[in-house]
Chain A
Amino acid sequence: MAVKSKTPYTLQRRKVVQRILEDRGDAAVVTGIGNAVHDVASANDDPKNMYLAGIMGGAAMVAFGVALAQPKRRILVITGDGELLAGIGSLATIGVEQPKNLSIIVIDNQAYGATGNQHTHTGRGVDLVGIAAASGFKKTALITTEAELEAELPRIHNQPGPYFAVVKVVSKTSPRINAPKDGTYVSRRFRAAVTGESA
């Protein structure tokens, strides 16, 4: 069930991620698998980026662990709808724990982009924002336009969280870029950058 490019959405994923990361300050970023890795890496390959290049369903909880360990720093999750769905129970765990410094941004193209653009559940009636709210996220947003994105930026970066937003984007595939993919390298680089210690 391939998604046709005719969706009502116009935001471009790469531009959205670039815009969000422009204002990141000293935030640490954890990405989900697939397009999110390339979106974040293409914006700026920062040592405070942890690319989870091969795991489905783990990005939110990795970021949660960092958020507990680094309570003064903002932690952003940038991931896709399929990746989040594979670990959706994490939202309930995070909703109960209420980490103030965690923001989850789902770049939702309503398709499994890496495996042939099959529909994910978000293209068929599943409302991730509603599930996040039901899980105890007090700040949630659905972003479909540039104006909405601009309005949400301060909340993404500064409002006491946990914060959750879905950004609906066109389902066009973006070019992959050469993101660092060695896990021992990115993990140690990240840890040194956010803690100031060597591993």
Chain B
Amino acid sequence: MATKKKTDWSKDVFKVLKKADVQQIAYVPDAGHTSLIKMAIADNAIKPVSLTSEQEGVAVLAGAWLGGEAGALLMQSSGVGNVINMLGMANECRFPLLMLVTMRGEWGEFNPWQVPMGQATESVLEASGVIVHRVDEPSEIAETVEAAAKLAFEGGRMVAVLIGQRVVGFKDWTK
């Protein structure tokens, strides 16, 4: 697992989020998002919101938009399975919604329990009317998030960037 590479894309993504004027970052912690979360916490202009369950994040960002702020929701692919009902609200009101999803249950997965949800993530999002951008190249993550942020905030859509497990690396069961 290339730790340096991981930090690099997080930095670039963070810059993109700042440029898109993201001020609320809601998250359920995930190893793949660790650096991004750290940067969000360290940045005084960003309000980090740690959630108990991912569905809370969709609602928080609806409120953020109502109050004039843009936000992003960071989660793992399993969390996608918790937000489907709440996405109905974002869909119906056409709230912009930017989600960055680190994938599990695919490339090199060690935990079989992650596989069903990981394999269903993309189709479930699409069934909910979310536009999905998938990225497997570290060098393409930042530009993908930038495009997704535009589509979300300017185009007024729900957009998810799925960051492949190949990029975030896979955990070692023995660690």
Contacts and interface: CB of A to CB of B under 8 A. Distances in A.
Interface of A: 1, 52-57, 85-88, 112, 114-116, 118-121, 175-176, 178, 181-183
Given A56-B78, A116-B29, A176-B174, A181 B111 contact: yes
Interface in B24-43: 28-31, 34, 37-38, 41
Nearest to A182: B112
B50 A118 contact: yes
B112 to A, nearest CB: 6
A91 to B, nearest CB: 12
A115 B76 CA distance: 10
A81 B175 CA distance: 21
Contacts of B111: 53-54, 181
B170 to A, nearest CB: 13
Given A56-B78, A88-B52, A121-B50, A115 B31 contact: yes
B139 interface: no
12 contacts: A54-B78, A54-B117, A56-B78, A86-B53, A114-B31, A115-B29, A115-B30, A116-B29, A116-B34, A176-B175, A178-B174, A183-B113
A56 B78 CA distance: 9
A119 B114 CA distance: 23
Contacts of B112: 53-54, 181-183
Interface of B: 28-31, 34, 37-38, 41, 50, 52-53, 78, 111-114, 117, 173-175
A54 B113 contact: yes
Query: Chain A at the B interface: mostly helix, strand, loop or mixed?
Result: loop
A121 B174 CA distance: 27
A34 to B, nearest CB: 10
A179 to B, nearest CB: 9
Nearest to B29: A118
A118 B76 CA distance: 15
What 10 pairs across the A-B complex have the smallest Cβ distances? A54-B113, A118-B29, A85-B52, A116-B34, A115-B31, A112-B29, A115-B29, A53-B113, A86-B53, A54-B114
Nearest to A119: B50
Contacts of B41: 1
B136 to A, nearest CB: 21
A52 B52 CA distance: 18
A88 B53 CA distance: 10
Given A86-B52, A86-B53, A118-B34, 12 more contacts: A1-B38, A53-B111, A54-B78, A54-B113, A54-B114, A56-B78, A85-B52, A87-B53, A112-B29, A116-B31, A118-B37, A181-B113
B48 to A, nearest CB: 8
Contacts of B113: 52-55, 181, 183
Nearest to B113: A54
A115 B52 contact: no
A183 B175 CA distance: 21
A121 B173 CA distance: 26
B154 to A, nearest CB: 32
Contacts of B29: 112, 115-116, 118
